[in-house]
Chains A and B, each alone.
Chain A
């Protein structure tokens, strides 16, 4: 079965420290992977995507993600966390199944950045 996993329900990091939010995937075909962020009482905002090309993908708000095919991972990273980065982060992958292409979401990781 195709799936996207986020093994950590919550990640705590001090402001100014680097952050990593983990994501692993199991999808058919070429992996198309996305990161979204959700602030309280808001919709999801797109951060970045991997389709093909460089394994290091740069996105919005200083975030980047590293695609690792051998480890089937797509971890989200930022060199220096801000308190304003505190939010719910979702990793998503393309569900490949005939005409029913859609996104499979991970369960989400709550990022808490302490001042």
Chain B
């Protein structure tokens, strides 16, 4: 099973709303990632968690707040977003951050976010 599950598939929110994106994997992977992807562009790395600890924050604005409650779950809390934050948000996982390059990242189908 190489599945990464993301919910919801679609989300529309206002600039004053608070919402959360959820990501789940049951492959025993200990590294999990959040990416942001604009249409027809490559994914941009936002955060990396390794063994449930935040290891990379790519200078993401504080209106995005990640959380890793356990080794299978990854959340992205959203608050006071801007219209330019509208994008496809992808979650991925891999076996181990320290051997990231050797290990494949498995991606979820993403959450398409629209900020009005």
Contacts and interface: CB of A to CB of B under 8 A. Distances in A.
Interface of A: 32, 34, 36, 41-46, 49, 51, 88, 90, 94, 96, 99-103, 105-108, 110
B4 interface: yes
Given A45-B107, A108-B40, 18 more contacts: A34-B104, A41-B110, A41-B112, A42-B109, A42-B110, A43-B107, A43-B109, A43-B110, A44-B90, A46-B104, A51-B101, A90-B43, A96-B101, A101-B100, A102-B56, A103-B45, A105-B42, A110-B40
Nearest to A102: B45
Could you tell me the dominant secondary structure of chain B's interface residues? mixed
Interface string B19-35: 00000000000000000
Contacts of A110: 40
Nearest to A6: B42
B48 interface: yes
A105 B43 contact: yes
Interface of B: 4, 6, 40-43, 45, 48, 55-56, 90, 92, 97-98, 100-102, 104-110, 112
Contacts, number: 57
B67 to A, nearest CB: 20
Given A44-B107, A45-B107, A102-B56, A107 B42 contact: yes
Contacts of B100: 94, 101-103
A36 to B, nearest CB: 8
Most buried by A among B4, B106, B112: B106
B4 A94 contact: no
A90 B45 contact: no
Contacts of B104: 34, 46, 49
Closest 6 CB pairs of A and B: A94-B101, A43-B107, A105-B42, A32-B101, A44-B107, A101-B100
